[in-house]
Amino acid sequence: MDSHSGSSVRLKVFNLNCWAIPYMSKQRQVRIQYLGDFLNQKNFDLALLQEVWSERDFESLRQKLLPNYTWAHYFRSGFIGSGLCVFSKHPIQEIFQHTFSLNGYPYKIHHGDWFCGKAVGMLVLEICGILVNVYVTHLHAEYNREHDYYLAHRVAQAWELAQFIHHTSRKADVILLCGDLNSHPGDIGYRLIREWIGLEDSYLETQDFQGCEEGSTMVPNNCFVNPHEMEHFPRGIRIDYILFKAVSGFRITCDTFATTTGSGPDDTSGRSIPLSDHEALMATLSIRPASFEQSHNAARDAETQASLMGVLHEAWTEMGLGLAAARQWVYSTGHLFSLGLLLLFLGVGSMLFEDIPWVAEAFFMILGAIVLLGSGGLYLTSLHESKALYEAQAEIELAMEMAKEIQPEAVEVSSTSSLLRTSIQSESK
């Protein structure tokens, strides 16, 4: 509940990746019910959820939460939906969403991300006269940290997310970004988002933390977590976040920050089923009016600027590697497509010769059709991937150029990038 004590506004925020995949996630319906009870009991201002894949689950939550959270929205996108939804005690004034250009591969059916339409959902709230832009998101999963096939996609998503927030929050007093970034605190995705927008991390900012060691949001002692995946992380991993920024005239502090700890969030209830395979995050934020000196952070210091340049350059490089791989696929699948055409022609052409059995003709035609369809699909996928990565790279390049103009001492990094850019451009011609 927000209490406008003195001149400060308190905001209680809840975030959870719900792991609610119909037919696949364990004890889904019990957990959704449990989550509804918990949210009603704790009375947050905002609850932001990810991986609510079934609209029925959202609808059942909506019905249950209606008395306490009057406003709700499910973000629909892709084939399945974005999985993102929000429940708010405060009137939602505007909603908008941006679906990420890149989101895995359609042929990776077992991973499924491509079908989900991963996105960033945006809400505009006005709380006690303060304009709050809230963003909820879920970036591409990391299935194999050693050989992260999707790194370029996740970095491109992180950049799109950062750009979307950067451009849509210009009038906001306060920015909140909650969600599952599928990036550890040291990873480029997390750093890119934080540095480009200038966001603070609730876990790092609070003086009062209660929860998993190192703020982890996936821990081995959660019974839904596959222990094998946590082999290298005995203390768990931190990939879910509540990030914030006061844009102008305001200052935010994170008074308390808590996570669930692998068991049920409220052990006194006697129910010990965790809410999800992820831990829930709960932050109490205080928003206060601030003097110009306190709130003004436009003039970045040289160190921050250099750090931003480094992060931009790292993201640019990661996308470049992805782009090179995508172009290789465009090339290979293009050749495979020609092979499919050849097989089809062989099949059709062999019909002119009476001594070739029709089984052989049919074989060539069917094989040709399969190769054509398969390589055609792969060709389009890689083509789309290369366009999206190239676009993201171009946006980052421009950002680096602009950052360079602001801070001449960062020339070293950016001149390297210019060289790289020239080589990419000549390659693309």
Among 26-34, 283-291, 387-395, 414-422, which window interacts with a second copy (CB under 8 A)? Answer: 387-395
Which residue from 66, 348, 351, 366 is in contact with a second copy, where contact means CB under 8 A? 366
Among 18-26, 250-258, 396-404, 411-419, which window interacts with a second copy (CB under 8 A)? Answer: 396-404
Which residue from 286, 325, 395, 418 is in contact with a second copy, where contact means CB under 8 A? 395
Asked if residue 161 lies in contact with residue 284, where contact means CB atoms within 8 angstroms, the answer is no
Of the listed 90, 98, 278, 313, which one is catalytic?
Answer: 278
**Pair type for strands 250-259 and 209-210:** parallel
275 or 396: CB nearest a second copy: 396
Contact track, a second copy, 239-278, x by CB under 8 A: ----------------------------------------
Contact track, a second copy, 153-192, x by CB under 8 A: ----------xx--xx-xx---------------------
Contact status: 46 vs a second copy (CB under 8 A): no
40 or 248: CB nearest a second copy: 248
Residue 355: CB partners within 8 Å, gap ≥ 6? Answer: none
92 or 178: CB nearest a second copy: 92
Tokens of 57: 């689950």
Contact status: 122 vs a second copy (CB under 8 A): yes
Q: By CB under 8 A, what part of segment 309-328 binds a second copy? A: none
* Residue whose tokens read 């190192």: 214
Which residue from 55, 200, 214, 314 is in contact with a second copy, where contact means CB under 8 A? 55
195 or 255: CB nearest a second copy: 195
In one-letter notation, the amino acid at residue 294 is: Q
Which residue from 12, 64, 73, 194 is in contact with a second copy, where contact means CB under 8 A? 73
Asked if residue 8 lies in contact with residue 288, where contact means CB atoms within 8 angstroms, the answer is yes
Burial of 425 (0-12, 13-18, 19+ CB in 10 A): exposed
Contact status: 387 vs a second copy (CB under 8 A): yes
296 is catalytic: no
Q: How far is the CB of 165 from a second copy (least distance, A)?
A: 11
Contact status: 110 vs a second copy (CB under 8 A): no
Contact status: 402 vs a second copy (CB under 8 A): yes
Number of residues that bind a second copy (CB under 8 A): 44
Q: How far is the CB of 380 from a second copy (least distance, A)?
A: 5
Tokens of 299: 């003039």
- Kindly report the backbone phi and psi dihedral angles of residue 178, in degrees, each rounded to the nearest multiple of 5, phi listed first: -125, 145
Q: How far is the CB of 95 from a second copy (least distance, A)?
A: 5
Which residue from 99, 256, 286, 304 is in contact with a second copy, where contact means CB under 8 A? 99
Q: How far is the CB of 384 from a second copy (least distance, A)?
A: 5
Which residue from 10, 76, 251, 288 is in contact with a second copy, where contact means CB under 8 A? 76
CB burial string 69-87: b at 16+ within 10 A, e below: bebbbbbbbbebbbbbbbb
Helix axes 188-197, 302-349, angle to 10 degrees: 130
Q: How far is the CB of 244 from a second copy (least distance, A)?
A: 19
Residues β-bridged to residue 46: 13, 88
125 or 254: CB nearest a second copy: 125
Q: Which residues bind a second copy (CB under 8 A)?
A: 55-56, 59, 73, 75-81, 92-99, 101, 115, 117, 122, 163-164, 167-168, 170-171, 366, 380, 383-384, 387-388, 390-391, 394-395, 398-399, 402, 428-429
- Would you name the residues annotated as active-site residues? 278
